[in-house]
Structure 1
Amino acid sequence: MKKLLFLVVLSVGFLSHAQYQRFVYEYKFAIDSTAKDNVETELMNLDIAPKGSKFYSNSYHEADSLMHAFIEKQVKSGNNDFSLKGIGYTGKLRYSVEKSYPDYAVSFINSIGNEEYLVQDSRVPQWKILSDKDKIGNFSVQKAVCDFLGRRWTAWFTTEVPIQDGPYKFHGLPGLIVKIEDQSHAHIFELKGVKKLDKAQEWVSGKDKKRYNPLINVDENKFKKVYTEYLQDPMKGLRQMLNNGKIVEMRDDNGKVIDTNKMLRDDEKRVKEKLKKENNILELDLLK
């Protein structure tokens, strides 16, 4: 895993006055309940600005930025025949979570199949703050619990950082969430570093990102329905594109025409096997 060389733990006084900050969390997760020892790790950024926050994968963001810069450079040079080999995506988590201040309205941007969705999520964690206190890193923290997203969560927050925010969709405690984990210990977010940002580094909403197809706006209930249908038929979107003539012909790296029906069958088998193993996702209520 990449070393956090650029991160420093800043003083409490500085944190309370800085408007632009990046909180980097280590996210450990095991999404296959039959292989709980197979724990994956990803660094996630929580970027804070006066307008709100954005939570996203650091690795995916870097790879995505590199790819867009490469494409723009090739297009400007007049080269429309180029390969993206060598600019493979790193990181497994391609979603982002945006919260607006001061209402903390949550916008969740994620892909299902060939479509990208903007989910306006109105669910709010209902916290119970406990008297337990501890120390995590340089921060004095206090314990809180809640039932949210189909799981029981334990959080440790600090009032030394007076931001009522945290990783993913978690917020609403009287201070920043330093660590949070579910009861089964399958999903754990822990703060590992803080970096000061300047205004020029203020996060850009995923709603404004250039894309071929527009975002599909849904609420959390509609998103659950779409996700359930995807689990049942993960190749539906691609099949519709082929039937509607949006994909006329596909070729492999050697220029040979691909048998799309065989490709669909092979991909469907592969994707369904993969989805079977994703039985312990963070939002467990999506599977119920």
Structure 2
Amino acid sequence: MKKNLIFFILLSLKLISQTSFNVIYEADYKLQYKMLNINNAKLEEAAFALLINEKESYFKNMNKYVGDSLRYEKKLDDNSSNGKYFTPFRENIGTTDGKIYVTVPISYKNFKYEETNDITWNLINEYKTIGKYKTQKATTKKYGRTWIAWFAKDIPFPFGPYKFNKLPGLILEVYDEKNDYHYTLYKFGKRKYLCKSANMNTGATLVEKSRIFDYQRKEIGDQNQFNDVIEDKETLNMLRKKSAERAKQFNPIELSIY
């Protein structure tokens, strides 16, 4: 019992601090999402990579995936956060059977948190074909939304995009009932390599999730963010008003912590 406890503690420390990830398969997803909770909100797109091996997965935005690889190889400056490799989806998400590990840079500092991997699904007797795979429907309530997933038993990995997992097959499609966030698999295949730049934020500070939950809304609504660049008071007040409005309209993927 004691040996098992020590093993799981060491495993947790390894997963939460690791730089590299042993990849056997890679699943790439397209996300269509609405960043604002308003009528006729603009539908935006982003791409993500899900790195998979037999016991765990690692999920990150494709721009961050490529940018971090270039930074690791010293082909891109460490401070190059804007431009071609910018993304509003900054989290690195590692998933094991028992835990989900998240690292995220916020305001030039790196933070990390972990949460229990306790997602539960209702399997529905509905099926559809996605690409060449027969998939089954499943639903769950998580993070303040109701989610619908389609998974393929023919791909026997219990993983999926973002924090969605624990189904008897890879999740090929998952979306919330309002269709604000819709992930769709567009590529899957064997890769078998060591991704040395999986987590570039190994010095992140461990905090409770509640401390940094909804951090993007807080960043958007920060009334002091323009103080150092705008001197005109009228312009400053206008920008402050707009940022406050945008913060109220912000539509994150997680509406609640659990």
Q: Is the partner of 2:85 in helix, strand or coil?
A: coil
Are the aligned partners of 2:65 and 2:198 in contact in 1 as well (CA < 8 Å)?
Answer: no
In 2, Cα distance between equivalents of 1:185 and 1:53: 25
Q: Which has the larger radius of gyration?
A: 1
CA contact (8 A) 1:113 1:235 kept: no
Match of 1:282 among 211, 230, 253: 253
The alpha-carbon distance between structure 1 residues 107 and 86, as it changes in their structure 2 partners (threshold 3 A), is closer
CA distance in 2: counterparts of 1:180 and 1:23, whole angstroms:
14
1:181-192 equivalences under 5 Å are: 181-192=175-186
Q: What's the offset of the Cα at 1:21?
A: 0.8
Partner of 1:91: 87
Q: Structure 2 length as normaliser, TM-score? A: 0.75
Query: C-alpha separation between the residues in 1 aligned to 2:101 and 2:229?
Result: 36
Match 1:217 to one of 202, 206, 231: 206
Structure 1 84/223 Cα, relative in aligned 2: closer, same or farther at 3 Å? Answer: closer
Please, which runs of 5 or more residues in structure 2 have no aligned partner? 1-22
Aligned with residue 65 of structure 1, among 69, 72, 78: 69
Say whether residues 1:22 and 2:26 are aligned partners.
Answer: yes
Taking a change above 3 Å as real, the CA distance of residues 25 and 234 of structure 1, as seen in their structure-2 partners, is farther
Alignment partner of 1:70: what SS?
coil
5 Å-filtered alignment, 1:162-173, equals: 162-173=156-167
Tell me by how many angstroms 1:61 deviates: 2.2
Q: 1:47 to 1:118 in 2, by over 3 A?
A: same
d(CA) in 1 for partners of 2:66 and 2:168?
32
C-alpha distance after superposition, 1:88-139 (max 9, x if no partner): 4343322221113xx2410112233343221212252221111111111111
Letter in 1 for 2:184: E
Matching residue's letter, 1:97:
I
Unaligned runs of 5+ in 1: 1-18, 76-82, 209-213, 240-258
Contact kept, 8 Å, 1:20 with 1:202, in 2: the verdict is: no
2:39 & 2:146 partners in 1: Cα distance? 20
What does 1:111-190 align with in structure 2 at a 5 Å threshold? 111-122=105-116, 124-190=118-184
SS in 1 for 2:207: strand
Distance 1:125 1:234, change over 3 A: farther
Q: By how many angstroms is 1:188 displaced?
A: 0.4
The separation in 2 between residues aligned to 1:275 and 1:114, in whole angstroms, is 20
Q: Distance in 2 between matches of 1:94 and 1:150?
A: 21
Superposed CA deviations along residues 217-267 of structure 1, whole A, max 9, x for unmatched, are 12323333867765664648x99xxxxxxxxxxxxxxxxxxx568499959
Residue matched to 1:9:
none
Alpha-carbon deviation of 1:35?
4.4
> Going by fraction, where is strand more abundant, 1 or 2?
2
RMSD over aligned Cα atoms? 3.5
Report whether the alignment pairs 1:32 with 2:3.
no
TM-score by structure 1 length? 0.68
- Cα separation, partners in 2 of 1:233 and 1:163, compared to 1, 3 Å: same
Structure 1 pair 201–86 and aligned structure 2 pair: CA distance change class (3 A): closer
Counterpart AA for 2:75:
F
Deviations 1:191-237 (A, max 9, x none): 111132123346633443xxxxx41212323333867765664648x
Q: Percent identity over the alignment? A: 21
